Amino acid sequence: MTSPTLLIARLYEHIEPIARGERYEDPLLGALESRGLGSVTGGGSQLNEHGGIEFAEIEIEVANLDDALAVIVDTLERAGAPEGSELLRDAEVVRQFGKQQGVAVYLDGVSLPDDVYANLDFGATVDSLESVAGPASYHGFWQGPEETGLFFFGPNAEDMFSRLEQVLRDLPIGQNARVVVRAGKKGLPSRTVRMPRH
């Protein structure tokens, strides 16, 4: 009897464990088990030096890699896997995948006038940004010591930023925000834009 193949799907985005389960693990488990191809056996996160999630991982066990590969990639891409995502076996990349591009908006949490923070409605801010970034584009946030990161995903990061930029210019909390266009895996082409102060 052939031993099962152990795989790791590495997704380069900030995603909390519960959201990771709902967005990626549950659909993948359903797709694999319904076809008798394997199972999801776990998951985890790698933190960066600031305490944010650099990437998330999903542990997968399959009976036959050739049979399961297309199903894994298709399921994770449909769920929103970002570009640069990797499928690894024994730390070797078997396949790169992912179609979504990220825009990370890091709001200034320390240097703006006090009234900006006192009058901030965080939920309304997220809603106004997501409304221009695109439906279901908002994938969560990270609270750091000096910045709060908001993470948006869509098919084209530059297009998404062009829509986000004007809203950020108009929002008091958008002042001095650091925006990373095509945020994600290190080594992929990206650029950083600093929003002006009013």
The whole-number average pLDDT for the span 9-14 is: 96
The confidence score (pLDDT) of residue 1 equals: 52
Position of tokens 């992912």? 98
Q: What's residue 51's pLDDT?
A: 83
Instruction: Please provide the size of the chain in residues.
Output: 198
Tell me whether strands 147-154 and 138-143 are parallel, antiparallel or unpaired: antiparallel
Give the per-residue pLDDT at 52: 86
pLDDT of residue 144: 92
- Name the percent of the chain lying above pLDDT 90: 92
Q: In the chain, pLDDT over 70 holds for what percent of residues?
A: 99
Q: Give the CATH number of domain 5-97; options: 3.30.450, 1.20.120, 3.40.50, 3.30.70.
A: 3.30.70
Residues 28-61: tens digit of each pLDDT: 999 999 999 999 999 999 988 888 899 999 999 9
The CATH 3.30.70 portion of the chain extends over: 5-97, 101-194
How much is the mean pLDDT over the chain? Answer: 95
134 three-state secondary structure: coil
Per-residue model confidence (pLDDT) at position 135 = 92
Residues 141 and 110: beta-carbon distance below 8 Å: no
Name which of 24, 8, 32, 129 is nearest 78 in CA terms. 24
Q: pLDDT per residue over 83-107, tens digit each?
A: 999 999 999 999 999 999 999 999 9
Reported as type and span, the H/E element at residue 193 is: strand 191-194
Mean pLDDT in residue range 155-159: 97
Predicted local distance difference test score (pLDDT) of residue 151:
96
DSSP element (H, E) containing 105: strand 101-108
**CA-based nearest residue to 143, from 172, 119, 114, 109:** 109
CB 163 within 8 A of CB 133: yes
- What's the CATH number for 101-194? 3.30.70
Confidence band of 198 (pLDDT split at 50, 70, 90): confident
